[in-house]
Amino acid sequence: MSRIAELFARKNPVFIGFAVAGDPDGETSLRVAKTMIDAGVDLLEVAVPYADPVADGPMIERAHVRALEAGTTPDAVFALVRQVREYAPDLPIVLFTYYNIIYRRGADRFFADAAAAGADGVLIVDLPVEESDEAAPAARRHGIDRIALIAPTTSPERRRAILRDASGFVYLISLEGVTGERDRLSPDIAGLVGAVREGTALPLAVGFGISSPEHVRAVVAAGADGVIVGSALVRLVEERLGDEAGMHDALRTAIGAMLRVLVPEREPDIPGRESIEG
């Protein structure tokens, strides 16, 4: 059983935290990942910095820019994943990427490198199912879960095609548009969860726009198996670029508040983690 499958079999709902690798630099990025893990995230989603992140809103786009300006390359991302894997041996790690990064490296090499670094899944934001003939078999060869993305606007026919190649879990986009914090979520999340649930036995996690304990509560009430928080955590990094201690305190506080909605008084559960300073 993969780490992702084992997590969802053991715990429901799960909390998925998102960070951009190399934001604002490699060393700080690693410390941010460790803080998120210590705060209790169940799965870490790590974005590979990209110059044209079309699915991302301004907050995460600026994080991509900071990471690229700091010299973050795909090799640096794999190095970060290896360090996170050493820190938390059993924690599932998913790479969030755009297909041009995979294409330039070569699909087989990219998935081989991801597996060797310790990644469990890859989410390719901009790759249509009709064009995944190279990526899908490469992921299977190297034991990497292909995380499917399904939006509110995805037709039933496309949902079925997308789910045929999916593994790990399904990422449900809560709203139309790009990533970013929102004041309120769509009232149709429960309908989306229910519709996709009819077509797959995979766990369903909801992301895009989730930024508060109230949002987490709404997603769980809609029947999701997981909650994904991205822009709200990236904002805490951006707001405290000159105050790293404050950055880590803010991340711990925000993650703790959202985790308490999932399971009141929940303690961080970090199976297999070895304590490493720095």
Retrieve residue 123's tokens.
């989410």
Question: How far is Cα 67 from Cα 205, in angstroms, rounded to an integer?
Answer: 26
Catalytically annotated residues: 45, 56
How long a stretch of residues is the chain?
A: 278
Nearby residues of 137 by Cβ (< 8 Å), 6 or more positions away: none
Per-residue b/e over 117-137, b at no fewer than 16 CB within 10 Å?
bbbbbbbbbebebeebeebbe
3-state helix/strand/coil string of 23-44: CCCHHHHHHHHHHHHHHCCCEE
Q: CA nearest 56: which of 41, 40, 45? A: 45
Question: How far is Cα 117 from Cα 130, in angstroms, rounded to an integer?
Answer: 28
End-to-end CA distance of the chain: 31
Q: In this structure, are residues 193 and 164 in contact, taking their beta carbons and an 8 Å threshold?
A: no
DSSP, collapsed to helix, strand or coil, labels residue 53 as coil
Residue type, 54: V
